Amino acid sequence: MIDIIKKQNQLTPEAADELKEVSDALFIPKDKLIINYENPLGSGVCSSVSRGFLRGPSPLIKLTGLIETQEFQDCDVAVKVALHFGDDEVDQMFREIESMKVLQYNQNVISMLGWRMLSGKPALIFELAEQDLLRYAKMLMSIVIKEFPFKTILSIFWQIAKGMEFIASKNIVHRDLAARNILLTNDFQAKISDFGLAVIPNSGMKESQVPKKFPVRWLSIEAIVEKLFTEKSDVWAFGVIMYEVFSLGQDPYAGIPTGNILGFLRSGERMGRPRLATNELYELMRSCWEENMETRPKFEELVPKLHSLLEDEAGCSTYYEELEENYEGLEFLQENETRVSTITLV
């Protein structure tokens, strides 16, 4: 894999040598990995994910030397296999492995346990998480309002903010932060995943040579206009995640063509408050969508705010009881001037 990256001239020679050292340390021999192809966990345009089982200790244990990683041995895993191996796939593989080198381990970041080649294509092996936040949010449409798991949702937001605070401390910009890329364990531990578009410091990556397709509906104004990505553009995307969850998985800017989103934002408009979000949480979302990036909060500021809301969540239970009384059996309309679809909570 490293030889292919070298041939594509995507790395400086020094960076390629450093990456080879790390990738070799993370290599998993064939006899250590069992893959179940019959029940895939998911698939996309560039890759598919299958359940697997890792025999023995993962390379991550040796790489980090941390007690927290000792659980990653003789364990179920997720195996992400590239469907193709062109320039974009090489780019993504590089960024995933390079991110692992920088981040190593954090409880709110998905852990890459190692990698290997399968049928001539690279496969990345991750710790297993059963579902993603977007799927979970859509599942909540089937519950009654007063049973909305407000405390769990706040805990998830707090964990994402903590994970992003850690990522930002390493000077990494994620650039693809969305509910679909937040994985959840069975006990609702949130894990930030998919670093295929990440900006990684001192990686030797020749950024201008790599074509990318960015998720416009999660991008800040400066990211759309100037291709300027910083922690503050990730903060903007965090606000969009909050909207996704409180709208029960609705697409951001529903009903607005992608080409019109920039004009919508530059006119000062923003997505309206989902009915399931309290005024205080909507104000937090809006602070993430400030046009002036300097006035947006940092993740280190969002963490204590969300923790405080989590501690005070008991006082918000009446909010959902009132919603249940006022709107039971009615359609929930998104307060967005341009919204078109409705969501029914039964």
- Determine the pLDDT at residue 48: 84
- Mean pLDDT (10-residue bins), the chain, 346 residues: 51 57 79 88 78 95 92 95 71 80 93 86 88 96 88 96 97 96 96 91 54 84 94 98 97 95 96 94 97 97 94 71 63 39 30
The CATH number of domain 8-127 is 3.30.200.20:
yes
In angstroms, what CA-CA distances link 198 with 98, 110, 282?
A: 10, 14, 27
Domain range summary for the chain, segments of one domain joined by + = 8-127, 131-344
Distance, in Å, from the CA atom of 160 to the CA atom of 154, rounded to the nearest integer, reads 10
Whether the CB-CB separation of 242 and 284 falls below 8 Å is answered with yes
**What distance in Å separates the CA atoms of residue 273 and residue 257, rounded to the nearest whole number?**
20
Residue found by looking up tokens 């706040």 in the block: 154
Q: What is the pLDDT of residue 63?
A: 86
Q: How many Å separate Cα 111 from the centre of its chain?
A: 13
Per the CB < 8 A criterion, the answer to whether 234 and 288 are in contact is no
Task: Return d(Cα 105, Cα 227) in angstroms, integer.
Answer: 29
Instruction: Give the residues across from 77 on adjacent strands.
Output: 52, 127
Same fold, 8-127 and 131-344: no
Q: What pLDDT, on a 0 to 100 scale, did the predictor assign at position 340?
A: 32
Active site residues: 176
* pLDDT at residue 211, rounded to an integer: 44
Give me the pLDDT at residue 95, please. 81
DSSP H or E segment with residue 241: helix 231-246
CATH architecture of 131-344: Orthogonal Bundle (1.10)
For position 1, what pLDDT does the model report? Answer: 55
Q: Is 124 helix (H, G, I), strand (E, B) or coil?
A: strand
Cα three-residue angle 52-137-37, rounded to 5 degrees: 20
